[in-house]
Chains A and B, each alone.
Chain A
Amino acid sequence: MSAAPAAAFFDEMNVPDGGVRAGYEVISEWLKQAPRELLVNRKLEAEHFFRRIGITFNVYGDNQGTERLIPFDIVPRVLTSTEWQKLVRGLEQRVKALNAFIADSYGDREIVAAGIVPEELILQNPAFQPEMTHFTPPGGIHVHIAGIDIVRVDADTFYVLEDNARTPSGVSYMLENREAMMRLMPELFGSLRVAPVDNYPDALLETLRSVAPRSASRDPTVVLLTPGPFNSAYYEHSFLADKMGVELVEGRDLLVRDNFVYMRTTEGPRRVDVIYRRIDDDFIDPIAFNPSSMLGVPGLMSAYKSGNITISNAIGTGVGDDKAIYSYMPEITEFYLGEKPILSNVPTHRCREPEALRYVLSRLHELVVKEVNGSGGYGMLVGPHATKAERDTFAAKLKAHPDDFIAQPTLALSTVPCFVDSGLAPRHVDLRPYVLCGADGVRCVPGGLTRVALKEGSLVVNSSQGGGTKDTWVVET
């Protein structure tokens, strides 16, 4: 597969011969009839709505601490309920496999013994936490909240682009985007049956309570642990805590006494059973991990290992979601579940394998090369868009540290019409559904966060790189 010509991109709304795909009929009709001024107004209203409720993110590396809005596009992205049903089955399977792999990584490592995953990919993974070896978290689940990034290339093919098993963010945009759309486009909601997403906070709370430690009362206390107001996702933290009706705590609000965790309240210390943490592993306990962390709770790890507190997601889940392990996900799924994977991986070349490296080096101009531990679209090479000099520099890096890289074909990401300055125009999108995994089952609200590359021709959807978002509608057809 190589960079496809513009016409070859799969347009999720329009069929090349002039028709409209299932699920988009009403929207397409509405867009045709709406005068431009109406769309301009709705766009302004949306911006006003987001500005007023303060849904912003802080930009890393920007010393001004600027609070920015993520651009929002008013044209919804549609999935039919049939498409969604298939996705959900695949997502559930994927998260089960991820959980099984992480548990095994910290257990007997049967998958290594079976010769499927090389041991060093686990043990030398920077996200591997030796502290977790032979420790079973409450409920036996490591990943309670996963964000699985999905891309589409044609009518039938969805690929998993990336698994996020640490502290996936963005779910507040999914919820606020829907809130905004229901205000802006009531006429569309009136004629389409769009599956609701607003029960996500309840589903999240149920999931978290289901994995409370055994010593917890029948009404377990859940808190959301945030690094604080200066974190880029603070809005989301306070939003979720508010919607779940749980306390939003910082590290200094928690204390550990006799291996139990308490929060400091006006009525004295109060037991905490489940911590939904939005702090990375390394910062969560200055005694066990980074001693200079001011964000964490001293002694938390010891309470965790005594089985008195649930940390969600578990410590060390990053061992399952990096790009090197990603390439093994089909084998991982088969090994633990005995099933064929429902969702495909993007075909991936592991540069650590000499044959693959040779292939990648000879095809740099048509491949995307990614750093195994990189994220956010930084540190990658998009072959077709790179200059010869850039490719040569990258080739040198590749040869020096082949283990650090994987390569994938440039995907012909699907497009959805967006309302941009020039009018309606196709832009590339991806999708991040959120999968919740509790002791009482898997939950997945229909939809997710659609991210869109607003720059014409761009394939990078990350908000830090000029991406925006859309509301995602799962509709019955």
Chain B
Amino acid sequence: MLSRMADNLYWLSRYTERAENLARILHVAQRLAALPSAYAGASNEWESAIATAACADEFEALYPDGATRENVIRYIVDSSANSSSIKACIETARANARAVRTAITSEMWEILNEGWNEMRGIEFDGISQSALTQFLQRVQQMSLRFDGAAYRTMLRSDQYWFQRLGTFIERADNMARLLDVKYHLLLPEKEPVGGGLDYFQWSSILRSVNALTSYHWVYRENVKPWLVADFLILRPEQPRSLISCYLELNDYLDKIAEAYGRQGPAQHIARSTTARLQNAKMDQIFQSGLHEFLVDFIEENNKLGAAITQQYLS
């Protein structure tokens, strides 16, 4: 298939996935901000939302008065200055979809087109709490439906595989960032792991990836930071964990390599990252530094993205 078409499919999925993750982050921030401070802890949820969305520097330059609810919502939801705002993500996803109309199914197109049309009718300036909640839910639903439509309607060929690669690269990146920022904020240097942590803060991480209930099913324990990390990094049962994303990435890259009769750097990088995740133990990760581990991972993930682009998309 044309490289441009594969590129469109790949980014179409990345942007849809990114929009969903941003919506989840804001959704949780909104929930936490509504708690009395005795429950929510001292940290500023809106600041944490900005840090998770990986855009703190740009945000500070644009909004000198800081991470207020209004500023954060405006910036993450509909700022034209932010090329990764939810609105920009949906715009970009639709533009990519329009360019490859024949490569995606009509179901996929209609879901994106509908989401885009709906979004254009919303006035975000001074948006009410309930309207915002509803919008964030609609974005998550759109991404879920899009994912489902791709899964259920796309022909299993390289078009589908590139579409999936985009989803899982983005999901792995977003998950690693979310964990890194939360740990950074919630676990000050001098505080020992497991000490004086707030249940609501930790469960918010799980909640933002829709994993709170499943956590209890897997661990049958109270929410504990190292178990949250274990769940979201190393457990293959958790579909958004880093290892799950990498098992999928490996799988689709293998399918592509098999279909094309050759493999390259992308397959090697994915395989070595997967092996590292499979061999890792949570206590070792904590000993050598979770932050360092996650920073390394994000870098490796970016390398994989670059290798996929180099090998197939340009």
Contact = CB atoms under 8 A, between A and B. Distances in A.
Nearest to B99: A229
B99 A247 contact: no
B3 A253 contact: yes
B125 to A, nearest CB: 23
B interface, over-half SS: helix
B161 to A, nearest CB: 10
A248 interface: yes
Contact of B4 (A238, A241, A264, A267): A264
Contact of B6 (A242, A252, A263, A266): A266
Contacts of A241: 102
Interface in A230-263: 238, 241-242, 247-250, 252-253, 263
A253 B158 CA distance: 18
A253 B100 CA distance: 13
A266 B312 contact: yes
B1 interface: yes
B217 interface: no
Interface in B1-51: 1-4, 6
Contacts, number: 36
Contacts of A252: 4
B157 to A, nearest CB: 11
Contacts of B4: 249-250, 252-253, 264
Interface string A99-121: 00000000000000000000000
A295 to B, nearest CB: 14
Contacts of B99: 229
B146 to A, nearest CB: 19
A248 B2 CA distance: 9
A253 B102 contact: no
B3 A264 contact: yes
B260 A266 contact: yes
B162 A266 contact: yes
Interface in B146-177: 158, 162
B313 interface: yes
Residue among B6, B101, B256, B313 with max Cβ neighbours from chain A (10 Å): B101
A253 B314 CA distance: 9
Given A264-B314, A266-B260, A267-B260, A248 B102 contact: yes
A266 B255 CA distance: 13
B102 A238 contact: yes
B98 interface: yes
Interface string B80-124: 000000000000000000110110000000000000000000000
Contacts of A266: 1-3, 6, 158, 162, 256, 260, 312-313
A283 to B, nearest CB: 18
Contacts of B3: 253, 264-266
A105 B98 CA distance: 42
Interface string A413-440: 0000000000000000000000000000
A287 B159 CA distance: 33
Contacts of A250: 4
Interface residues of B, number: 16
A433 B99 CA distance: 30
A268 to B, nearest CB: 9
B166 to A, nearest CB: 13
A242 B106 CA distance: 14
Contacts of A54: 101
A271 to B, nearest CB: 14
A238 B103 CA distance: 11
A2 to B, nearest CB: 49
B245 to A, nearest CB: 21
A460 to B, nearest CB: 32
B2 A249 contact: yes
Interface residues of A, number: 16
A263 B102 contact: no
Nearest to B6: A266
Contacts of A249: 2, 4
Nearest to A241: B102
Contacts of A267: 260
A173 B101 CA distance: 19
Nearest to B109: A54
A264 B102 contact: no
A266 B310 CA distance: 10
B102 A265 contact: no
Contacts of B314: 264
Interface in B264-300: none
A264 B313 CA distance: 9
Residue among B4, B102, B260, B313 with max Cβ neighbours from chain A (10 Å): B4
A252 B101 CA distance: 18
A253 B2 contact: yes
Interface string B297-314: 000000000000000111
A241 B99 CA distance: 13
B96 to A, nearest CB: 11
B119 to A, nearest CB: 18
A265 B260 CA distance: 11
A148 B40 CA distance: 75
A56 to B, nearest CB: 12
Given A266-B260, A267-B260, A247 B98 contact: no
Nearest to A247: B2
A249 B8 CA distance: 13
A365 to B, nearest CB: 49
A107 B101 CA distance: 43
Contacts of B312: 266
Contacts of B313: 266
B158 A229 contact: no
B173 to A, nearest CB: 22
Residue among A54, A249, A263, A264 with max Cβ neighbours from chain B (10 Å): A264
A264 B98 contact: no
26 contacts: A229-B99, A238-B101, A238-B102, A248-B102, A249-B2, A249-B4, A250-B4, A252-B4, A253-B2, A253-B4, A263-B2, A264-B2, A264-B3, A264-B4, A264-B314, A265-B2, A265-B3, A266-B2, A266-B3, A266-B6, A266-B158, A266-B162, A266-B256, A266-B260, A266-B313, A267-B260
Interface of A: 54, 229, 238, 241-242, 247-250, 252-253, 263-267
Given A253-B3, A266-B6, A266-B313, 10 more contacts: A54-B101, A242-B102, A249-B2, A253-B4, A264-B3, A264-B4, A265-B3, A266-B1, A266-B2, A266-B312
